Amino acid sequence: MAPRGGRLTDMADIQPAVILVRPQLGQNIGKAARAMYNFGLTDLRLVAPRDGWPNPDAGPSAAGALLLIDQATVYETVEEAVANCTHVYATTVRDRDMPKPVVTPREAAAQMASMIDVGERPGVLFGPERSGLTNDDIALADTVLTVPVNPDYGSLNLAQAVILMSYEFFQHKADVPAYLPAHPEGLADKEELVGLMEHLEQVLTKKGYFRSEGRQGTQRLALRNILQNAEFASQDVRTLRGVVKSLGRTRED
């Protein structure tokens, strides 16, 4: 096992964030960190690890990637973990009936490299070992990332999924059209976008839009997907926040 000394490899000023959402086992976190570091990725983010953090089982599984374990950042929610990302991929094998583009790891790798070239910050969500990402998690993503596997046996463990994405990013070739930002000034980050979503939901709740309690979750997801897929710039978000604020006012205000 390698010592903890040294420093993380500086592959680039910006690189894809690997975001493990509600991971269950410390061993799996360690194996995912090892998979990342094999291919030069160092931005490891953990969302609400089931057994808490730090986890003594993660280090032995990480082998020479102990620096990633030591420097992993922990968040309570997915929204917080993706706050500074401008484009998020959600890894899932299931059809969630959401209007999002679907790419393979190779396509995602080329896209992410192009995004980084123009100053965007991509992130990739990986779900819990047993259940995967929820619809609420995926609603925060711009693109679905799916690995083409044997249709008769599509089971990948967490570290396998991470190593596939990491390898493709490390080896990527520009065999898909380069990513071009929707706005010259770049996209709004997720913190800004989530703020708009929550603001709109608060006003709509006060105005009685969510009338049916049984449909509220579906309506909320539909609205979030509409806003997510629009590729707003920061100025767009500020403009819409002003519109929502105005619509929320009463005559007494």
Instruction: Give the range of the structural domain holding residue 216, as residue numbers without chain letter.
Output: 190-248
236 and 118, same domain (yes or no) = no
108 and 34, same domain (yes or no) = yes
22 and 113, same domain (yes or no) = yes
86 and 45, same domain (yes or no) = yes
User: What's the confidence (pLDDT) of residue 3?
Assistant: 32
Task: Report which listed range, 7-11, 36-40, 122-126, 220-224, is most confident.
Answer: 122-126
107 and 211, same domain (yes or no) = no
Residues 6+ apart with CB under 8 A from 176: 107, 110, 111
Q: Where is the domain boundary, 136, 171, 206?
A: 171
160 and 50, same domain (yes or no) = yes
Whether the pTM exceeds 0.75: the reply is yes
Gap between the Cα atoms of 144 and 122, Å rounded? 13
Query: Looking at the domain assignment, is residue 167 inside a domain?
Result: yes
User: What's the confidence (pLDDT) of residue 178?
Assistant: 56
Strand partners, 46: 20, 74
53 and 149, same domain (yes or no) = yes
User: What's the confidence (pLDDT) of residue 249?
Assistant: 81
Query: Looking at the domain assignment, is residue 179 inside a domain?
Result: no
110 and 146, same domain (yes or no) = yes
67 and 140, same domain (yes or no) = yes
Q: Can you give the CATH number for the domain in which 79 is found?
A: 3.40.1280.10
In which band, very low, low, confident or very high, does the pLDDT at 2 lie, cut at 50, 70 and 90?
Answer: very low
222 and 109, same domain (yes or no) = no
Which residue type does 213 have? Answer: E
Q: Where is the domain boundary, 112, 137, 171?
A: 171
Q: Where is the domain boundary, 128, 143, 171?
A: 171
105 and 197, same domain (yes or no) = no
62 and 113, same domain (yes or no) = yes
Q: How many C-beta atoms surround the C-beta of residue 152 within 10 A?
A: 5
Q: How many domains does the chain have?
A: 2
Residues 41, 15: contact at Cβ < 8 Å? yes
Length of the chain: 253
Task: Give the mean pLDDT of 145-168.
Answer: 89
List phi, psi (to 5°) of 18. -100, 115
